[in-house]
């Protein structure tokens, strides 16, 4: 076979069945062969960054390797922000990139693709020659899984037309990792845990992947510890009487009060970053035990009192056994008063609604969306000021919650949502985005959602400006005009592409919009445009300054 056929065959040999693509000279025949010869679901994006972001959303929703393909030169440079996002959020993605022919130094699209990719934090895997295609693709797949980041497979165009005697490499299946803790690390941690008077358990995405929920509930019972979750473990402890919900800047008032009183935080698979720790202020006065499968995650953002390298479920079970052997008595931190407060807490009463005819309070909008949208759903949130409200939407399981915030960029969510929706056709995908984010990074991909017939519900929080910049200008007493934008009618644009639409300018309109969602036509996405007053700012955003 020819080299480009061998690349396609190597991908299929490793179980690739979905590829997000923008085709050009450097990858055209790879993509064509994938679709024609192997029946791979080849999904065309309108921009290379969006193809990579779709692969990222697909990977997050499935837990499998996401795959995208782009051409050389500008095709690859267009992916830079998406590659950085993937590297920072540690998502395994394979990006199959063409490169200009080695012998054509003066090719207009020639550049040092290795240096470009390395600068993003992604990995670079060159295809050395035609005979090593299967081996190099296999290596890239393994690297993506073990390095938890995008790997760019770089294929010079001349290699794609060489004859190949194809020798397949065995398919790679990531082995489950159930790493047991080092006894000395565990002993040091348990000395802190067992002596805590007011302990709290914090679970992150690592605990979710480990399937550690029931074990951590049992550990919480043994310690008398309330339970909390990081953003990426949203809803992990839902239904438990001492579930505090999110730990960090999004904590509700009762949770914040309880967390402030704690003297020990026992963390399982959560990154203790700026937001999870409330700028580290939520760790004040606490001893911290951090359990994580990846040793590089411990002490990455804060120095902890004890670190334990191991699987969350395995370590939690070992802790329970040690507590039982020592006949440890639960603390008194779980009180009937706390249980009652958590049971009776209503987030809708935590603020004064500032809706008026012409604009709705984003906090009220989010609460009404949470109740009115389909409950069996996955939720994807773009970046922007609005997200501090939208991030409080509930999901059935943590795996149903997808973000695109690792690089702090707006505009990455639309394509991420499309990839997630392709991955999970069994449920609607609710995508929340600001007007600036939609205009910057995804308006053209709405046509892709229509073409694919996705069950996608887009909610645009439209304050007709770049919200974060607006509030900063106002806070400094300056004219916010520089942050304002005269966008087109977003519902009209979406409708012209094939969306059903609804506009919200008052609280009464929310019910009408929910009717549109309930009565949506199968295969037709929905876009809801909600008018927001830029001066009505989330309480959380005000606290962040």
The pLDDT of residue 537: 66
What does the angle CA 418 – CA 424 – CA 429 come to, to the nearest 5 degrees? Answer: 55
The Cα–Cα gap between 431 and 386 comes to: 12
Strands 150-156 and 199-203: unpaired
If you count them, how many residues does the chain have? Answer: 545
DSSP per-residue string spanning 18-64: EEEE---TTTHHHHHHHHHHH--EEEE-SSHHHHHHHHHHHHHHHSS
Beta bridge partners of 47: none
Q: With contact defined as beta carbons under 8 Å apart, do 485 and 436 qualify?
A: yes
The pLDDT of residue 536: 81
Tokens representing residue 241 in the block:
């009487």
- Strand, helix or coil at 522? coil
Sheet containing 264-268: order of strands: 243-246, 227-229, 199-203, 264-268, 287-292, 306-309
Beta bridge partners of 306: 289
| Cβ neighbours of 331 (radius 10 Å) | 16
Chain CA centroid to CA 411, Å: 13
The pLDDT of residue 542: 54
The Cα–Cα gap between 320 and 329 comes to: 12
pTM: 0.93
Q: With contact defined as beta carbons under 8 Å apart, do 354 and 536 qualify?
A: yes
| C-alpha dihedral (459, 461, 466, 470), degrees to nearest 10 | -170
The DSSP call for residue 505 is S
The Cα–Cα gap between 217 and 209 comes to: 16
The pLDDT of residue 344: 93
Beta bridge partners of 21: 44, 69
The Cα–Cα gap between 326 and 329 comes to: 9
| Cβ neighbours of 320 (radius 10 Å) | 18
- Mean pLDDT by groups of 10 residues along the chain of 545 residues: 96 97 96 96 97 98 96 96 96 96 82 96 96 95 95 95 91 78 96 97 96 98 97 95 94 94 97 88 94 93 95 97 96 96 87 91 94 96 92 94 92 97 97 95 91 98 90 88 92 96 97 96 97 76 52
């Amino acid at each position: 076979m020819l080299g480009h056929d061998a690349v396609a065959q190597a991908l299929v040999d490793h179980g690739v069945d979905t590829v997000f693509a923008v085709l050009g000279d450097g990858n055209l025949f790879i993509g064509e062969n994938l679709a024609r010869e192997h029946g791979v679901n080849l999904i065309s994006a309108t921009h290379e960054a969006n193809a990579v972001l779709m692969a990222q959303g697909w990977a997050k929703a499935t837990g499998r390797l996401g795959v995208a393909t782009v051409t050389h030169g500008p095709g690859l440079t267009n992916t830079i922000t998406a590659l950085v996002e993937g590297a920072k959020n540690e998502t395994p993605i394979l990006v199959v990139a063409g490169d200009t022919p080695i012998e054509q130094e003066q090719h207009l699209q020639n550049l040092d693709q290795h240096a470009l990719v390395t600068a993003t934090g992604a990995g670079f895997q060159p295809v050395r020659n035609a005979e090593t295609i299967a081996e190099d693709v296999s290596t890239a797949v393994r690297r993506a899984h073990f390095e938890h980041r995008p790997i760019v497979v770089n294929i010079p165009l001349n290699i794609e037309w060489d004859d190949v005697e194809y020798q397949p490499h065995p398919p790679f299946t990531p082995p489950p990792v159930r790493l047991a803790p080092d006894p000395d690390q565990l002993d040091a941690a348990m000395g802190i845990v067992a002596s805590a008077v007011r302990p709290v358990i914090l679970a992150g995405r690592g605990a979710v992947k480990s399937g550690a929920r029931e074990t951590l509930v049992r550990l919480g019972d043994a310690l008398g510890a309330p339970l909390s979750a990081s953003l990426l473990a949203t809803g992990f402890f839902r239904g438990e009487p001492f579930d505090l919900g999110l730990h960090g800047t999004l904590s509700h008032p009762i949770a914040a009060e309880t967390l402030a009183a704690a003297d020990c935080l026992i963390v399982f698979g959560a990154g203790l970053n700026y937001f999870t720790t409330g700028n580290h202020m939520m760790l004040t006065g606490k001893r911290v035990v951090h359990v994580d499968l990846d040793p590089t995650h411990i002490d990455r953002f804060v120095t902890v009192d004890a670190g334990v390298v191991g699987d969350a479920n395995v370590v939690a079970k070992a802790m329970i056994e040690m507590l039982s052997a020592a006949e440890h008595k639960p603390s008194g931190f779980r009180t009937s008063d706390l249980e009652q407060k958590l049971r009776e807490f209503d987030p809708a009463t935590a603020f004064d609604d500032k809706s008026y005819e012409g604009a709705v309070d984003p906090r009220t909008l989010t609460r009404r969306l949470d109740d009115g949208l389909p409950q069996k759903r996955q939720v994807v949130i773009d970046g922007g000021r609005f997200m501090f409200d939208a991030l409080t939407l509930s999901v059935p399981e943590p795996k149903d919650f997808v973000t695109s915030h690792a690089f702090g960029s707006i505009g990455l969510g639309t394509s991420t949502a499309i990839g997630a929706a392709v991955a999970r056709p069994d449920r609607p995908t609710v995508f929340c985005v600001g007007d600036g984010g939609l205009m910057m990074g995804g308006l053209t991909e709405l046509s892709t959602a229509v073409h694919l017939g996705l069950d996608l519900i887009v909610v645009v929080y439209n304050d007709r400006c770049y919200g974060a910049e607006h509030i900063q200008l106002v806070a400094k007493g300056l004219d916010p005009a520089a942050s304002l934008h005269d966008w087109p009618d977003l519902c009209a644009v979406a409708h012209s592409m094939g969306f059903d639409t609804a506009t919200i300018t008052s609280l009464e309109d929310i019910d009408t919009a929910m009717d549109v969602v309930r009565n949506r036509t199968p295969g037709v996405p929905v876009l809801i445009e909600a008018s927001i007053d830029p001066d009505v700012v989330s309480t959380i955003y005000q606290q962040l300054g």
